């Protein structure tokens, strides 16, 4: 009998196993992580130093041992800019990204271990905030796949997918959910644990009633995502009262 990816994952991460998982709090948020993982890179480096003369890196006829790598890293630590490294580690988030993340949290819809959220209108200069919101939401404990979408520059429906699920192929998932253009080209793509899509809204972008436009787009996007989940028709038709759900960024 062949073991499925899901079964292998469950066995490897079960209690008492090397890759056992647990929930810990990081920056005030619950995160799923490996219980036996080293707490930081310093611990990883310290463990590697104990392996001495065993081969660590091999390139053609050159070999670096664990011990040599440890000594090289220790030498680098003496000359690095610690203040700069500390600044980089703070993971600063721009105000515009925080705004979109807040909208994504307010509009979040969860179906089992899948989550989706529409963030309304986003300017072209701030389109990356949609991906940042997806990166934030995928950290939630009870979901393994998330899609965040919005209207960018009044011209496109753009979205980002993030997943931890070994059974989700982002490129295929997005293609099945949103289809192709008139030339047969998929509206999106992806790799491993992330993907994205971009769908032109055409003349609808000229609409003066932005609340109504967002209601139509959100309904269509949600229905496409729910259909991909096998829950077609789980949401009702748009009501047209979407003013509170059609935020904008300048």
What are the structural domain ranges in the chain?
Answer: 5-34, 41-89, 95-245
Furthest-apart CA pair in the chain: how many Å?
70
The answer to pTM > 0.85 is no
- Please tell me the predicted confidence (pLDDT) of residue 32: 80
Running along the chain, 250 residues long, what does each successive block of 10 average in pLDDT?
85 90 77 84 80 86 88 83 72 83 94 93 92 92 93 92 92 92 89 90 84 92 92 52 43
In Å, how far are 42, 135, 152, 172 from 175, measured between CA atoms?
Answer: 41, 20, 20, 5
pLDDT of residue 239: 39
The Cα angle at residue 234 between residues 116 and 227, in degrees rounded to 5: 65
pLDDT at 244: 38
Contact 105, 115 (CB under 8 A): no
CATH of segment(s) 95-245:
3.10.310.40
pLDDT at site 222? 93
The confidence score (pLDDT) of residue 38 equals: 83
What is the token pair recorded at 9?
């994952």
Q: What is the pLDDT of residue 93?
A: 76
What per-residue confidence (pLDDT) applies to 128? 92
CB of 118 closer than 8 Å to CB of 150: yes
């Amino acid at each position: 009998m062949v073991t499925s990816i899901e079964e292998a994952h469950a066995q490897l991460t079960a209690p008492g196993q090397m890759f056992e998982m647990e929930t810990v709090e990081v920056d005030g948020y619950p995160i799923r992580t490996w219980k036996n993982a080293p707490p930081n890179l310093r611990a990883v480096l310290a463990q590697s130093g104990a392996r001495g003369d065993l081969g660590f890196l091999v390139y053609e006829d050159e070999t670096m041992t664990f011990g040599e790598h440890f000594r090289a890293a220790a030498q680098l630590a003496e000359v690095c800019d610690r203040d700069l490294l500390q600044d980089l580690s703070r993971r600063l988030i721009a105000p515009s990204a925080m705004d979109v993340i807040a909208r994504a949290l307010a509009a979040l819809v969860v179906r089992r271990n899948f989550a989706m959220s529409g963030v309304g209108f986003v300017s072209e200069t701030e389109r990356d905030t949609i991906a940042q919101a997806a990166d934030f939401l995928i950290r939630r404990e009870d979901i393994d796949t998330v899609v965040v979408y919005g209207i960018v520059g009044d011209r496109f429906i753009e979205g980002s997918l993030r997943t931890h699920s070994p059974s989700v192929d982002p490129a295929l998932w997005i293609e099945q959910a949103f289809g192709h253009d008139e030339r047969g080209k998929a509206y999106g793509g992806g790799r491993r644990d992330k993907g994205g899509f971009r769908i032109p809204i055409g003349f609808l972008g000229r609409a003066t009633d932005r609340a109504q436009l967002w209601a139509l787009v959100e309904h269509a996007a949600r229905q496409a995502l729910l259909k991909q989940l096998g829950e077609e028709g789980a949401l009702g038709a748009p009501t047209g009262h979407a003013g509170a759900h059609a935020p904008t960024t300048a």
